[in-house]
Amino acid sequence: MQVKEFKVKWGMVVDLDKCTGCGACMVACQAENNIAPVTEGSNKLRTLTWMLVYELSNGKDFPEHDIAYLPRPCMQCGKPSCSTVCPVVATTKDEEGGIVSQIYPRCIGCRYCMAACPYHARYFNWFDPVWPEGMDKTLNISTSVRPRGVVEKCTFCHHRFAAAKEKARMEGRDPMHLEEEDYIPACVEVCPTGAIVFGDLNNPEHKVAKLAKSRYAFRLLERLGTDPQVYYMSKREWVRRQGDNYLENEKTKGE
Amino acid sequence: MGLDRRGFITFLVGGAAGTLFTPVPWKLLDDVSIWSQNWPWIPKLKYGAKGVTPTTCKLCPAGCGLDINTVGKRPVTAEGNFSHPLSQGGICPLGAAAVQLLYSPARVKGPLKNNGGKFESISWDEAKKILAEKLSTQKGSGNVALISGDENGTANEVLAAFLAALGSSDYYFMPSDATAYATAWNKIMGGQGQIGFDLENSDYVLMLGADLLSSWGTVVRNQKAFGQKKGQYIYVGPVQTGSASVADKWVPVLPGKESVFALGLAYYILKAGKTCSAKGFAEFKEYVLTNYTPSKVQALTGVPANDIKKIAAELIAARRPVVVSGSDFGQGSGSLDMVAGIFLNLLLGRLNQPGGLVALPSVQAVDKAPDLNQLRQNSLINFISDVQKGAKRPDVLFIYEANPLYALPQGAQVASVLDKIPFKVSFSTFLDETAAKADLVLPTPHFLERLDDAYTPFGAGAVTYSVSTPVIKPVFDAKPTPDFILELAGALGVDLGISSFEDVLSAKAEKLGADWEELQGGQAYVGDKKVFQSALALPTQILSGGLKMPSSEYPIYLAPVARPYIGNTKLATPPFGVVTIRENELKGKDFYVHLNKATAKKLGLKQDKKVKLVSAAGQCKALVNITETVMNDVVAAPLGFGHTAWDDFSKGKGDNVFNVLTVTQEKPTGLYVWNNSQVKVVKA
Ligand code: SF4
Ligand code: SF4
Ligand code: SF4
C-alpha cells in the first residue's frame, strides 16, 4: 500500500483514566454534524454515531472488578483499510492533516469500507434522516445533510479545520502551522473532564505530540498496521491490554 | 452508549478483510450516486450570519455557562463557555442537546385548560382570569401551595413573595441534596449560609455516595476540577458509577450506609486525637467511639475495618482533604448522612479553608420574599403526607419547572395526593407527567427563550452568579412564569413591590456588586466571601439512626443510579440523548437492572430474565443484566426511564424506579429518607 507522508497530522490522545462515560461528546458530535435524532437508540446495530463510547470491563468478579469508558471516533488511520477498498474513491487520505475524507456525492453505498474498517467507525444511512418538526432549524450550516444510501463517519469535524485554515489565511498566518486553539473538534471542546486532547502529532509544541509518546499511550489494534492517528492512554494495564490482541503471557506495552 | 466487552472484542477481531478488494471503474457509478442523492425531502440547510450568544443553562441546577452558536439569530448548537467558572468550556449531555429541545415534540405550545381530561387551548388573558377568580377566594386563607423544581433561580423569590402575599407558607422545593444539606446544616447544626466544596484546591476528595463526576451538584465543574486534579479522588458507594470508574479507588458500601462508613472513619480520626469546637462535641465523640467501632461498622457497611483505617489515615495525612457526602442519586438523604460528612470536615479542620468545605452567603433581591434557604428546609414529602392525612388541604397547587408526579419516591402515593388537590397549575416547558394531569398548563419558555438566572448552584466552591439571556424569541406561545405571576398579582391587587423580573435580577446584581451589563453579556460573577460560623452544634441524638438493622422482608438493597444522558428529575431523555443509552441499559421497551453474579446466583436469576422489583411502596418491571459493577446484595437501577408523557424519544421505555423508592422516617428528626430503599427481586 502506498502511504502518503504528511507534514501536519491531526490526532487525538484520549486519557481513559479521565473519561467518565458521560456521553457529552456523542451528543455534541450529533448536533455539530447534523445527525438526525432517532427514537430507538440502544440497538447499536441500527444507530448512527460517529463518536461512540464503549464500556470496558477488566473481566474480574466483584470486588476486583474495574470499569473504563472508551470513546471511539474514526481513527483517521495512516493506512486506512476503508479507503483502499472503496471502488469509487469516495474516501481518501490525501489532504495535508491526514484526515480520511468521505465524499458523500460519490459514495454509492456498497459498504465495502464498512466491512474493511476494523474499528466499526463507519455507518450506513439505511433511511433518509428525519428531524421532528422545526428541529431542522437547528441544522449546522457547516456540515451537509446526508441522504439515505451513503456511508459516513467521523471527520474530526473537518469543517472546523477548513474554517481554521481560512481564518489563519485572513490573518496572514501560515494555515499549515495552526495553533492548538485554532482547530478543536466538537467532542474535544465539550468534554467536561478534558479526557480528549487534540492537535498536530507532528508539531512538538502541541500537547498531543508529547502525550502520544507517553509510556502509557497505545492505539487500538496497533499490530494490524493501520497506523491510527487516535491514541489512547491509561495507567491501568488491563485497559491497555484490551486495546490490542495480546497473547496471554505477552507483556503489555507500557509495562 | 457503546457495547459491552464482548462487543468490544468483536471489533478488535473484525480485521482487515476488505483490503483485498480492488477498485473498479467508478466514473459511471459516481454520476448515478450524485443524481440519486438529490432528494427534495432531505432538509435544506438554512443559511445566515453566524454568531455566538452566551447564556446560562437551566436544564439542571448545575448552572453551566453556555455558548450558543447561532445562524441568522437561530440557535444551532450549544457549547460550554470557556470563561464561565462552572463549565469552563465543558458541558453535559443534556446541555449539549439543549438547542434541539427548543423543537421537542413534547413542548407545550401555548396555555392549555384541562376540560374533563382533554386539553383545549386558551389565551394568556383567559388563563389569568381563571386564576384570578380562583385565587381571589383564596386570598388570606393560605390554601395555595407551590412546588418548585428550580433550585437556585431568583424566580423563586418572585413566586415565594406572591405565595406569602396570599398568606401561604406552603412553598416546597423538589427534594435534592441541596434541600437535605439546608436541613442538616442550617436547621439541625445551626450553620449559616449554603454549603459548598472547594474541589479545585483539594488534594484528597472523598466522595461519600455523592456521584460528583456523573450527576451530583455542579457536575461539569466537578469534572473540570477532576480533570486537573493533583491529588486523589476516592468514591464510596454501592455501584461503579462514572465517578467510581475514574476514581483512584472505589470503596463499595451498601446504599444509604455511607454515613455509617463516615462515622467509622471518624472513629479512627477521633482516636488520632482530632477535635473540633462545635457544641456537643464531647458527647458526640463519646457516642461515635462507643457505637461506631470498627467491627460494627464493618458489619453494617460491608467494608473491612482495615480499609476504613487506611482511608482515615490518608485523610489525616492529606494536606487539603475534603469530604463530600450525598445521596448516590442526588436525593433522599437524611440528616445523618450530611452531618456525618460535615463532621469529618470539621474534625480535619477543613471548614472555610482552601480546598475544604465552605459556607457561602446568600443574597436576595425581593424584600417581600421569605428567605429561600429557609424554604429549602420545608419538606415536600412532609407536605404530601399531610395532604394525604387531611392535615393540609390546598385548593390550588402551583408547580413550577418540576415533575413531582414522575420524580418523587412512592409515586403511587404522590399520584393519589395530587388527585386530592382540586386545582393544579403546571408552569412547564414540556408536557411532562405532572402537566398532563394539571388543570391549567401555562408554558414557561425554554431557557434559551427567557431571562433567568442561577445563584451559587449547590455544591459550588464559591459564590457564583450568572444570567440566562434570551437567545431566541419564544418559538411557541410561552410566557416567563415570573412575568405572568406579576401580572396575576396585579389582577388580584397584590403589591409585591416589584416592577419587573428584569428589575429584580438587576437589583440582585447590584446587591452582589456585580455588573448587570456584564452578566447579561454572559460573564459570571464570582465572589470570595465565606460565612463565618459561631454557633455550630453536633446533634448526638441522630447518631442512633445509623445503627438500624436492615429489613429482612426486602433483602436486596436498591441503588438508583442517576445518569444525565437518560434525563433528570425534570427532563426526560432529549431527542439527541437517545443514542447515548447503552445496550445494557435498554432493550426495546424494557430497561435493565443490574446485579452481580453472586447476587444473581443467590436469587436464581439469569441474564436478560424478566424480573419485578417489589418494595413496600410499589414495583417496577425490568430485565436482568449481570455485571460486576454492583456490590453483593444490591440491585442497581437507572433513574430516568418509564415516562408515560413526553414524546416518542422517551415515552414507554422501561419503568420508573422512583415508584419503588420507599420512604422511612429518620429518628428523632422526623425527616423522610429514601436513599436506603430495600426490595425483593422476583421473576416476572
Ligand atoms: S478508523 Fe475505519 S473509517 Fe476511520 S480511517 Fe481507519 S479504517 Fe477508515
Ligand atoms: S465527553 Fe469526555 S468524559 Fe464524557 S464520554 Fe466523552 S470523552 Fe468521556
Ligand atoms: S450540567 Fe446541568 S447546567 Fe450544566 S450543561 Fe448539563 S444540564 Fe446544563
Q: What is the pLDDT of residues B100-112, one digit of tens each?
A: 999 999 999 999 9
**Chain A residue with the nearest C-alpha to that of B212:** A20
Burial class of residue A233 (count of CB atoms within 10 Å of its CB; 0-12, 13-18, 19+): buried
**How many Cα atoms are found within 13 Å in the side-chain-facing hemisphere of B39?**
16
CA–centroid distance, residue A73 to ligand 3 (Å): 24
Cβ neighbours of residue B238 closer than 8 Å, sequence gap 6 or more: B252, B253, B254, B255, B328, B557, B559, B630, B631, B634, B636
**Do the chains contact at A23 and B1, CB–CB below 8 Å?**
yes
Count, residues in chain A: 255
pLDDT the model gives residue A249: 75
Helix axis angle for B481-492 and B124-138, nearest 10°, is 50
Contacts of B629 in chain A (CB under 8 A): 57, 62, 65, 67
Disruptive mutation site among B53, B69, B77 for chain A (greatest number of A CBs within 10 Å)? B77
Residue B157 φ/ψ, nearest 5 degrees: -65, -40
CA–centroid distance, residue B354 to ligand 1 (Å): 47
CA distance, residue A221 to nearest chain B CA (Å) = 7
Cis before A63 (ω within 30): yes
CA–centroid distance, residue A101 to ligand 1 (Å): 10
Closest C-alpha to ligand 3, atom 2: B60
Closest-CA residue to B521 (of B11, B35, B84): B84
The residue behind cell 429584580 is B504
Q: Could you tell me if B442 and B484 are in contact, meaning their C-beta atoms sit under 8 angstroms apart?
A: yes
Q: Could you tell me if B153 and B454 are in contact, meaning their C-beta atoms sit under 8 angstroms apart?
A: yes
pLDDT the model gives residue B600: 98
The residue behind cell 403511587 is B412
Q: From its phi and psi, is residue B344 left (phi > 0), alpha (psi between -120 and 50) or beta?
A: alpha
Closest-CA residue to B266 (of B347, B197, B210): B347
At CA A52, angle to CA A51 and CA A57, rounded to 5?
145
Where b means 16+ CB within 10 Å and e means fewer, B133-150 reads ebbeebeeebbbbbbbbb
pLDDT the model gives residue B35: 47
Establish if B35 touches chain A: CB-CB under 8 angstroms: no
CA–centroid distance, residue A50 to ligand 2 (Å): 14
Q: For residue range B278-318, list pLDDT tens digits in order.
A: 999 999 999 999 999 999 999 999 899 999 999 999 999 99
Maximal CA-CA distance, chain B? 88
The alpha carbon dihedral of B638, B559, B617, B413 has a sign of: negative
* pLDDT class of B200 with cuts at 50, 70, 90: very high
Cβ neighbours of residue B588 closer than 8 Å, sequence gap 6 or more: none
C-alpha B219/C-alpha B299 separation (Å) is 32
**How many Cα atoms are found within 13 Å in the side-chain-facing hemisphere of B173?**
26
> Considering chain B, what percentage of its residues have pLDDT values greater than 90?
88
Which residues in chain A show pLDDT less than 70?
1-3
> For residues B141 and A129, which has the higher predicted lDDT (pLDDT)?
A129
Residue B630 φ/ψ, nearest 5 degrees: -120, 140
pLDDT the model gives residue A2: 58
Establish if B643 touches chain A: CB-CB under 8 angstroms: no
Q: For residue range B259-272, list pLDDT tens digits in order.
A: 999 999 999 999 99
ipTM value, please give it: 0.95
* pLDDT class of B40 with cuts at 50, 70, 90: low
By Cβ distance, the residue of A38, A136, A192 closest to B223 is A192
Q: Please report, as a single letter, which amino acid is at residue B338.
A: M
Residue A247 φ/ψ, nearest 5 degrees: -75, 160
Q: Which three cell numbers stand for residue B266?
A: 471518624
C-alpha B631/C-alpha A168 separation (Å) is 54
pLDDT the model gives residue A176: 93
Burial class of residue B230 (count of CB atoms within 10 Å of its CB; 0-12, 13-18, 19+): exposed
pLDDT the model gives residue B549: 77
Question: Average pLDDT of B241-245?
Answer: 97
- Which residues on adjacent β-strands are paired with residue B664? B673
Please determine, for residue B243, whether its predicted confidence score (pLDDT) is greater than 50: yes
Cβ atoms within 10 Å, residue B313 = 14
**Do the chains contact at A22 and B214, CB–CB below 8 Å?**
yes
pLDDT the model gives residue B25: 36
C-alpha A224/C-alpha A215 separation (Å) is 20
Distance linking the first and last C-alpha atoms of chain B? 27
pLDDT the model gives residue A164: 97
pLDDT the model gives residue B636: 98
Q: Is B59 in the pocket of ligand 3 (CB under 6 A)?
A: yes
pTM of the complete model: 0.94
Question: Average pLDDT of B446-460?
Answer: 98
Average per-residue pLDDT in chain B? Answer: 92
Where b means 16+ CB within 10 Å and e means fewer, B479-488 reads bbbbbbbbbb
Write a three-state SS string for B41-108.
Answer: CCCCCCCCCEEEEEEECCCCCCCCEEEEEEECCEEEEEEECCCCCCCCCCCCHHHHCCCHHHHCCCEC
> For residues B312 and B553, which has the higher predicted lDDT (pLDDT)?
B312
**Do the chains contact at B23 and A55, CB–CB below 8 Å?**
no
By Cβ distance, the residue of A24, A138, A226 closest to B92 is A24
Cβ neighbours of residue B71 closer than 8 Å, sequence gap 6 or more: A140, A141, B46, B47, B48, B49, B50, B51
Establish if A119 touches chain B: CB-CB under 8 angstroms: yes
Contacts of A79 in chain B (CB under 8 A): none
Please determine, for residue B327, whether its predicted confidence score (pLDDT) is greater than 60: yes
Q: Which three cell numbers stand for residue B621?
A: 418491571
pLDDT the model gives residue A247: 73
C-alpha B308/C-alpha B306 separation (Å) is 5
Question: Average pLDDT of B576-604?
Answer: 96
Closest-CA residue to A157 (of A15, A10, A32): A32
**Do the chains contact at B565 and A145, CB–CB below 8 Å?**
no
Closest-CA residue to A151 (of A196, A176, A114): A114
Pairing of strands B321-325, B204-208: parallel
Question: Average pLDDT of B233-257?
Answer: 96
Helix axis angle for B155-165 and B501-512, nearest 10°, is 120
Closest-CA residue to B81 (of B237, B225, B220): B220
> Considering chain B, what percentage of its residues have pLDDT values greater than 70?
93
Question: Average pLDDT of B414-425?
Answer: 95
C-alpha B570/C-alpha B608 separation (Å) is 29
pLDDT the model gives residue B15: 31
The residue behind cell 480533570 is B227
Closest-CA residue to B664 (of B597, B600, B617, B612): B617
Closest C-alpha to ligand 3, atom 5: B95
> Any idea what DSSP says for residue B573?
P
pLDDT the model gives residue B18: 31
C-alpha A140/C-alpha A157 separation (Å) is 12
Disruptive mutation site among A2, A13, A22, A141 for chain B (greatest number of B CBs within 10 Å)? A22
- Which residues on adjacent β-strands are paired with residue B360? B194
Q: Is A80 in the pocket of ligand 1 (CB under 6 A)?
A: yes
Helix (H) or strand (E) holding B299: helix B294-301
Cis before B668 (ω within 30): yes
Q: Which of B31-45, B360-374, B434-448 has the lowest mean pLDDT?
A: B31-45
The residue behind cell 437524611 is B334
- Which residues on adjacent β-strands are paired with residue B358? B196
Q: Which three cell numbers stand for residue B543?
A: 447518631
Q: Which three cell numbers stand for residue B28?
A: 459511471
Ligand with minimal distance to B66 CA: 3
CA A216 from chain centre, in angstroms, equals 20
Q: Please report, as a single letter, which amino acid is at residue B151.
A: E
* Distances in whole angstroms, Cα of residue B362 to Cα of each of A9, B365, B374, B681: 50, 10, 11, 45
Contacts of A27 in chain B (CB under 8 A): 93, 96-97, 565, 576-577, 580
Instruction: Work out how many CB contacts closer than 8 A connect A with B.
Output: 321
**Which residues 133-152 of A are in CB contact (within 8 Å) with B?**
133-141, 144-145, 147, 149-150
Closest-CA residue to B32 (of A105, A123, A150, A125): A105
Cβ atoms within 10 Å, residue B35 = 9
pLDDT the model gives residue B565: 95
Establish if B28 touches chain A: CB-CB under 8 angstroms: no
**Do the chains contact at B580 and A41, CB–CB below 8 Å?**
yes
pLDDT the model gives residue B39: 59
C-alpha B424/C-alpha B434 separation (Å) is 9
C-alpha B258/C-alpha B208 separation (Å) is 6
* Distances in whole angstroms, Cα of residue B64 to Cα of each of B46, B252, B343: 28, 30, 30
Closest-CA residue to B86 (of B217, B204, B208, B176): B217
pLDDT the model gives residue B23: 36
Cβ atoms within 10 Å, residue B155 = 27
Q: Is A121 in the pocket of ligand 2 (CB under 6 A)?
A: no
Q: Hey, what's the torsion of the CAs at A24, A27, A32, A37, to 10 degrees?
A: -170
C-alpha A159/C-alpha A139 separation (Å) is 14
CA–centroid distance, residue B640 to ligand 3 (Å): 16
